[in-house]
Amino acid sequence: MQANLTSNTATETNKNSINNAFASHYAKSMFLSITALIILVFIGTRMFTHIDLNLYGYMVGTLVFIGGFFYRFIAWGERPPTKIIIKKGLKLLARKSTPKTSVEHLATYNFIWNRGIYRWTQHVLIGWGCVLSCFVTFPLVFGWMYFTMGENGYYTIVAMGMDVMTIKADGIIGFLSYNALNITAMMVIAGVAMALFRRLKNMQARAEQNFVYDFLPLYLLLFISITGLLLTVMNVFLHGWGQPVMSLIHQFSVIITLIYLPFGKLAHIPFRPMSVLARNYREHYGEQAMKECKVCGDKFVSTEQSQDVIQVLGMNEIEFKSTEGTHLAELCLPCRRKYRIAQFSGFPTHQVKVKEANQNAKG
């Protein structure tokens, strides 16, 4: 027993000494991330002997993006509700349904399919267009992947300093490699065009949107994609005319977008994996026990989630209790809405167990 206590004390002391070396969780996360990134660049570029200085601006923009991303993620993750979801969600990653949930949320976007095939298509085009662009751009920027020209019209693909494969310059693999960013740019342009059309034509969407938060991110993606395609057009059809200027414009737009990304609506792209944790949390505790509404008796959330909501509100010294002593977190959404109406009308509508005829909320 004494040995275990000594071991635990030593472990805790080491942990505290490491944490005390940094001013905050943000500083520690940034230091460890940048250190790991430098090590990967060192390996990928064969001890910094193969760095493309034309991509230097993208590298700086990416480093700033990483700093902003960690700042936003830590600030978001330190909130009591988020902390509960992350802590309990990580413990449930071993669930058998995790691979299926990951595919549905991160690859096929099945959760959007129910909203309509139009919205699903635009999300797939924008989402996968951005993700694939990152998969191509970041390895090139940090020197993890590059091409060397061989003899007789062949190229060698180098990844992390190792020769991976040799391809024909005019082969299908070569064509897809050279035009990968052109393909993803066309995907993003098509998806953004669909999103803009819907937001401009749909009256409900127009009433809920504002320029800076909802439209500006789409315009930035559109500008990046168009300028990227123009680089190819100038190179192929105009023999490089105007390419240096357009290259700077494109690079500047990418850097600005990377810096803005963690703090705007586009942040949900790198944050998207967290939805798997939330889904596991809801499903796991929903299978254990469901909470019955104190008014109508309907089961609307898991008992664990209802208790967590009450706990989080209590931590923030927020108490939402009815005159009967029932916490609003113990009421389903329709009954909760009726209770709020009762506060203005004076009629105890929350005690009426009959649902509204036009109630379409799913909770």
- CATH code of the domain occupying 22-83+107-272: 1.20.950
State how far the Cα of 21 lies from the Cα of 32, in Å rounded to an integer.
Answer: 12
Beta bridge partners of 301: 291
Determine the pLDDT at residue 100.
92
Q: Around Cβ 233, how many Cβ atoms within 10 Å?
A: 13
Predicted local confidence at residue 362, as pLDDT: 45
pLDDT-derived band at 361 (thresholds 50, 70, 90) equals very low
Instruction: Enumerate the β-bridge partners of residue 158.
Output: 146, 163
For residues 343-350, average pLDDT: 63
Nearest-angstrom CA–CA distance, 152 and 278: 54
Q: Where are the domains of the chain?
A: 22-83+107-272, 290-351
- pLDDT bin (cut points 50, 70, 90) of residue 363 is very low
Whether residue 358 is predicted with pLDDT greater than 70 in this model: the reply is: no
Name the pTM for this structure.
0.79
How far apart are the C-alpha atoms of 295 and 336, rounded to whole Å?
9
Lookup result for tokens 């700093």: 67
Q: Residue 50's pLDDT band (boundaries 50, 70, 90)?
A: confident
Spatial contact of 68 and 259, defined as CB atoms under 8 Å apart:
yes
Tell me if 145 sits within 8 A of 162, measured CB to CB: no
pLDDT tens profile 135-174: 998 888 888 888 888 777 788 888 887 888 888 888 888 8
How does pLDDT run across 320-335, given as a tens digit for each residue? 776 677 787 888 888 8
Higher pLDDT, 76 or 325: 76
pLDDT at 360: 46
* The residue type at 188: V
> Which token pair is 9?
């004390």
The neighbouring-strand residues paired with 256 are none
Using CA atoms, how far apart are residues 104 and 97, in angstroms rounded to an integer? 11
